Amino acid sequence: MKYLDEFSDPVIARRMLDDITRTVTRPWSIMEVCGGQTHTIIRNGIDQLLPEGVELIHGPGCPVCVTPLETIDRALSIAARRDVIFCSFGDMIRVPGSSTDLFRVKSQGGDVRVVYSPLDAVNLAQANPDKQVVFFAIGFETTAPANAMAVVMAQHLGLTNFSVLVSHVLVPPAICTIMDSPSHRVQGFLAAGHVCTVMGTSEYGPLVERYRVPIVVTGFEPLDVLEGIRRVLGQLEGGRYELDNAYPRVVRNEGNPAALAVIRDVFVTCDRAWRGIGTIGASGWKLSDRYADFDAENRFDVADVVVQESPLCRSGEVLQGLIKPHECPAFANECTPRMPLGAPMVSNEGACAAYYQFRRVESSVHA
């Protein structure tokens, strides 16, 4: 398939791995920030192919994982209302709130729908004028343009039965939080290619200088990820720290001006709580005053949710690379893919679930 198969060619992959092996002289820890890259790494087994000592730390770039518990509880409360059609991306459906998840809300009569595009939720609002249609607008900078467009469209159409529950988060403040942590282990970053497609690369130069850390803008196919790793390791071994774009076929330095315009129209920067990590200043977007009418938090009375996070789950430390999943006492005990306590155990590419699966083979081989 054009533009896909070329980027998973096993011969080129082998050559790149050989090059990496020749380059590396000592252990290094690299964080891929984006959940999409974690997915590629786990799906293709890239972490097992790297030379010993090169460790990939799966970062906080899974939007589902970092959406704060109080927001999920608000979503669950809204979704349970009989007058609401609640629309969400598919991977949010099983993420546990304090006491339930969207799947179970649906099983108890809630009208919960999986949509692929936020504009589908706008269409649903048009088709169901007697219902309130709420879209769960989560994600990093990548999903923001489409989410913003849905709000603009709803306003354009004069819809009064459409609103969004916004929990947008931003990559650069998360990188700062990780690097400011005294116990962090990260020596280089793969920056999320699709975030930079929207935002451009200008935010990352200052981070490179401030933390003296290599940041390589990286794509999502197996060879893209290997190339990102190869370039970070090249810098580390050479004692350099630079901003490098290894995904130039998609990412331009200035980003996508049309997307940036709609984002700036619809959203304003705000402090944001990250699940398991805590509140990070200026790390999110909320609706600007101009679009406040479309804010589901205003439309529905959900300000007073009382959250109860599992006291056992240490997913925040996992997402910052401070501990490995199996170092969490709940790992594979109280917390399994079957009964996840935290979001990283929910999907197969979540850091905790990935470790869990890998252990099944390891333990049967060594048993």
Partner 1 sequence: MSEELDLEGWTCPLPLRDQPSIVMGHGGGGRLSGELIEHLFVPAFAGTEHAEVLARLGDAAVFDLGGARLAFSTDSYVVRPRFFPGGDIGSLAVHGTVNDVAMSGATPVAISVGVILEEGLALEELGRIANSMGDAARRAGVSIVTGDTKVVDVGHGDGVYINTAGVGLIPPGVDLGAHQVRAGDVVIVSGEIGAHGIAIMSVREGLAFGSDIVSDSAPLNGLVASMMASGAQIRMMRDPTRGGLGATLNEIARASRIGITIAERAIPVAEEVRAACGFLGLDPTGVANEGKLVAIVAPADVDTLLDAMRAHRLARAATVIGTVVPEHEGVVVVTTGIGGSRVLDVPLTEQLPRIC
Using CB under 8 A as the criterion, which residues of the chain lie in contact with partner 1 when the complex forms?
A: 1, 4, 8-10, 13-14, 34-36, 39, 42-49, 61-64, 87, 89-94, 99-100, 103-104, 106-108, 113-116, 120, 124, 138-140, 142-143, 222-223, 226, 337-339, 347-348, 357-358, 360-361, 364-365
Smaller CB separation from partner 1, 116 or 304: 116
82 by Cβ neighbours in 10 Å (0-12 / 13-18 / 19+) ranks as exposed
* H helix runs in 158-203, sequence order: 171-180, 193-199
Helix (H, G, I), strand (E, B) or coil at 321: coil
Closest distance to partner 1 from the beta carbon of 34 (Å) = 7
Is the four-CA dihedral 339, 345, 346, 347 of positive or negative sign?
negative
Distance CA 215, CA 187 (A): 9
Closest distance to partner 1 from the beta carbon of 44 (Å) = 4
E strand segments, 11-110: 28-34, 54-61, 84-88
Smaller CB separation from partner 1, 45 or 53: 45
Smaller CB separation from partner 1, 36 or 255: 36
Closest distance to partner 1 from the beta carbon of 353 (Å) = 9
CB-based burial, 255-264: b 16+ in 10 Å, e otherwise? bbeebbebbe
Closest distance to partner 1 from the beta carbon of 14 (Å) = 7
Smaller CB separation from partner 1, 303 or 365: 365
Closest distance to partner 1 from the beta carbon of 166 (Å) = 14
Smaller CB separation from partner 1, 79 or 208: 79
Distance CA 230, CA 312 (A): 37
